[in-house]
A and B are shown apart, each in its own frame.
Chain A
């Protein structure tokens, strides 16, 4: 009892539940990735043996994993740019506190309440060749087009990334508004007195001073999009061809076909890509944040 008391004077033991559960699954699973990616682990064999870089060679020759990696990065960057530009634009329109602005903030937040799977089905209905978008275009232009928005090898990846941006923009808008609201009113007034126009104020005062919001919105959105799965599954399932096959689709395809070594190799590459992006981006963005 006394031992417990003296131990209890420091509160370290209170972190034990969190550490046990994080280390026992999240951390350990990521460490195991570094081992199994270099083995022939599969459901067709009882033993797991070390095969060096073979998974990565095979994956290169079969030509899947590197194109999938490029697809994932393209998707994530396109999504990140779209969601940030759009959300900042809307945030600038809605930054002042007022009833009507609150109404629009609340309204534009709604898409995030729909799950990625639900969002995917909604936009599949809108974007299919006989879908709502083509119907609307046809009504307004009195034509009879049937564009396959989800059937293009070049554009579909970007269209899906815009759908994800549509869903996530509500939160990004709120984070930008929170950033904008910390800018002191005097600064803006002073700039106006000096004769600065609206665009100059946005460019030279507002955008530099919302650094922390920008950091959050760029990093979390980029990382989240590298890990995309459900949007793709619901809308294109990797198609047409392999045009929207991102790393997580590759991981699950390999997993489902029992080739667990390949699956972990794909998973490891995803981990490394995210880690590289995070460690490059965060210090750069942090440095650029202007503190008052």
Chain B
């Protein structure tokens, strides 16, 4: 009986996974390999005529693929690293302080977890600071908004670390900053990995903020998603599905590769302490 149920369950899961994950991915990949007329029929058949190199070379060249990729990588890595370091410094302060004033600042800092950034006035501020339309401006914006998540997750985590560890180091006469990087930061590993995964997913996938902070132009090569949007929009009038889909494949590839390499850590990282905080 139990066996039969479990066979039924996995049969359902297999069919379901094919429908919800397999079919959409297959559709994108297979139609990105067809010439225009065939791809526009939007069928799941194998190509009668393969058009791999034509589609992908055109997409890579016109969409300035490598430039987009490197820009996205740079923005994501710099933002995530800075958010984790600056955020956990602040989280350490907030977790250990007992003063009321400090906890007011804690709540101000984590507001971004709940309320959205104000895009129009943020653009105005970035213009005042002379960094609107630049990658530095975009990175600063991400940090300002997403620090909330890093502080929120990490503060809860620091509270679970026994304070005695820090007091022992204090007697050694270490400075606060030294104490933080020698003792506290390494202990945050689990929490930092989880936060980093979520931040990478958010920043890498972002289109809205990147598009308007980098100038709202239709400039190719700015980030992967902006290039995909600009590229696809220019082909949407004639709906060249083969090129739109090869754009989708190329834009999605880096994160898929990243996932295949680190799949185990990513899945368990998200589950670790998911119910805390």
A binding-site residues for B, Cβ under 8 Å:
8-15, 17-19, 21-30, 32-33, 36, 93-94, 100, 102, 104-118, 121-123, 125-126, 128, 130-132, 135-136, 166, 171, 174-175, 177-179, 181-182, 210, 212-213, 216, 219, 223, 226-227, 229-230, 233-234, 248, 251-252, 255-256, 260, 263-264, 267-268, 270-271, 274-275, 278, 282
Q: Shortest beta-carbon distance, A89 to chain B, in Å?
A: 10
Tell me, yes or no, whether B17 is within 8 Å of chain A by CB: yes
Residues of B within 8 A of A27 (CB): 108, 111
Residues of A within 8 A of B66 (CB): none
Residues of A within 8 A of B252 (CB): 113-115, 118
Residues of A within 8 A of B87 (CB): 18
Residues of A within 8 A of B144 (CB): 21-22, 24-26
CB within 8 Å for A132 and B125 given contacts A11-B176, A15-B94: no
**Per-position contact with A for B1-18: 1 when CB-CB < 8 Å, else 0?**
000000001101100010
B binding-site residues for A, Cβ under 8 Å:
9-10, 12-13, 17, 20-21, 23-25, 27-28, 31, 41-44, 86-87, 89-90, 92-94, 96-97, 102, 105, 108-109, 111-112, 114-122, 124-126, 129, 140-141, 143-145, 147-148, 151, 175-177, 180, 201, 204-208, 212, 216, 224-225, 228-229, 232, 241, 244-245, 247-248, 251-252, 255-256, 259, 263, 266-267, 270-276
Residues of B within 8 A of A94 (CB): 13
Nearest A residue to B229 by beta-carbon distance?
A117
Interface contact A271-B118, CB-CB below 8 Å: yes
Interface contact B121-A32, CB-CB below 8 Å: yes
Interface contact B121-A14, CB-CB below 8 Å: no
| A contact face: mostly helix, strand, loop, or mixed | helix
Interface contact B102-A12, CB-CB below 8 Å: yes
Residues of B within 8 A of A15 (CB): 89-90, 93-94, 102, 105
Q: Shortest beta-carbon distance, B91 to chain A, in Å?
A: 8
Tell me which of B126, B205, B275 contacts A25 (CB under 8 A).
B126
Q: Shortest beta-carbon distance, B128 to chain A, in Å?
A: 10
CB within 8 Å for A132 and B115 given contacts A113-B256, A118-B248, A125-B241: no
How many angstroms between the C-alpha atoms of A260 and B123 in the bound complex? Answer: 11
Tell me which of A25, A33, A110 contacts B140 (CB under 8 A).
A25
CB within 8 Å for A267 and B251 given contacts A26-B145, A115-B225: no
Q: Shortest beta-carbon distance, A249 to chain B, in Å?
A: 11
How many angstroms between the C-alpha atoms of A24 and B74 in the bound complex? Answer: 23
Tell me which of B97, B147, B205 contacts A116 (CB under 8 A).
B205
Residues of A within 8 A of B270 (CB): 171, 174-175, 178
Interface contact B116-A274, CB-CB below 8 Å: yes
Residues of A within 8 A of B247 (CB): 121
Residues of A within 8 A of B208 (CB): 229-230, 248
Interface contact B42-A14, CB-CB below 8 Å: no
Beyond A24-B144, A115-B228, A268-B118, 13 extra complex contacts between A and B, CB < 8 Å:
A10-B176, A14-B92, A15-B102, A21-B144, A29-B124, A111-B20, A113-B201, A116-B205, A121-B228, A125-B28, A131-B42, A174-B267, A264-B118
Residues of B within 8 A of A264 (CB): 118, 120-121
Interface contact B117-A22, CB-CB below 8 Å: no
CB within 8 Å for A11 and B245 given contacts A24-B144, A267-B119: no
Choose among B31, B89, B272 the residue with the greatest number of A CB atoms under 10 Å from its CB.
B89
Interface contact A177-B271, CB-CB below 8 Å: yes
Interface contact A33-B207, CB-CB below 8 Å: no
A-B contacts, 24 of them at CB < 8 A, read A14-B176, A17-B86, A17-B89, A18-B90, A22-B109, A29-B121, A29-B125, A30-B111, A107-B21, A110-B256, A112-B201, A114-B248, A117-B229, A117-B251, A118-B251, A125-B244, A177-B271, A178-B270, A229-B208, A260-B120, A267-B120, A268-B118, A270-B116, A278-B115
